[in-house]
Structures are given as C-alpha cells and as structure tokens.
Amino acid sequence: MSRQGSRDTAPEVAVRKLLHAGGLRYRVNAPVIGMPRRTIDIVFPRARIAVFLDGCFWHGCPQHATSPKSNAEWWRAKLDKNMARDQETSEHLRAAGWTVLRFWEHIPAEEIAATVRAAVEHEKRVRGRPTQGGADG
C-alpha cells in the first residue's frame, strides 16, 4: 500500500489544471482540522468547499470496485474502513459548515471541474465572497 500515491494522482492533476485555467485558485492536500492524518484533495478555504477525488478501488466505487481474491477478508475490512473514514470525514466537514464534493476517479475531469466551478460560484453569491484571485480563485 505504501506504493500507492495519495496525492497528485492523474485525476487530481487533470481537474486542478482545468480549475486553474478557469481562473480558480485553491489549496491542495490541506489538513482536515480536528482530524489527524486526513487531507482534502482540493480546498477553497474562503468558500468552505472541500473536493475529494476518490479512487474506485480504494474507496469502494459501486461501478468499478473489485474485491481481491487473495486475503479477501482482510481486504474487505480494509476497504470498508476506508469508506467509513470517508463518510466520517465528510460528516465532520459538513458539521463545521463546509460543502463537501466527492467524485469518483472515473468521472471526466471536465465534468468535475464544471461542478466545482458551479459550487464555488454559488458560494460566491451566497456568502458574498470573491472567487477570483487569492486562495479561492
């Protein structure tokens, strides 16, 4: 598992390039306050939007997740724990007033970027905070 990249994955980089090209500014791999060893893939701090791009295998995508045949019981427990941790993290952030957006890695980057852009623009209107320039772009 240590060989698995947890940051700067191809889907993350593709989405970030589109967001940046569209003028949005963000932070990457920001820690989740109050939850050690957990990070948010793409963060818009002022808009309070947390974006996660979840790998199909590691996070249990209902369309593409597979169960390893070898050591199946251990893997099932491991992947179930990952999904529970994802849910706990999302609930923690929502309780703190954040908008949480989760996407599977197989969703096209353009679709993800469009959804994120719409959420940031919505927060701009609702909160009256800028989205151009600064950390929230």
Q: Is residue 85 part of a domain?
A: yes
pLDDT band at 3 (very low <50, low <70, confident <90, very high): very low
Q: What's the domain count of the chain?
A: 1
**Given this model, what pLDDT does residue 132 score?**
52
Confidence band for 129, pLDDT divided at 50, 70 and 90: low
Does 2 reside within a domain? Answer: no
Q: Which domain holds residue 76?
A: 10-129
- Compare 4 and 53 and report the one with higher pLDDT: 53
Q: Any idea what the CATH number is for the domain that residue 50 is in?
A: 3.40.960.10
Letter for the amino acid at 77? A
* Residue 135 located in a structural domain: no
Tokens describing residue 64 = 């593409």
> Tokens representing 129?
């905070």
The tens digit of pLDDT for each residue in 59-84 reads 878 787 777 788 889 988 998 999 99
Residue 104 pLDDT level (bands cut at 50, 70, 90): very high
Per-residue confidence band for 133, with pLDDT thresholds at 50, 70 and 90: low
* Per-residue pLDDT, 51: 98
Residue 102 lies in a domain: yes
Residue 15 belongs to a domain = yes
Nearest to 38 by CA among 4, 10, 7, 62: 7
Query: Terminal CA-to-CA distance of the chain, rounded, Å?
Result: 34
- Give bridge partners of residue 49 from the DSSP assignment: 44, 99
**134 assigned to some structural domain:** no
How many CB atoms neighbour CB 15 within 10 A?
A: 26
Choice between 37 and 58, residue whose per-residue pLDDT is larger: 37
pTM: 0.85
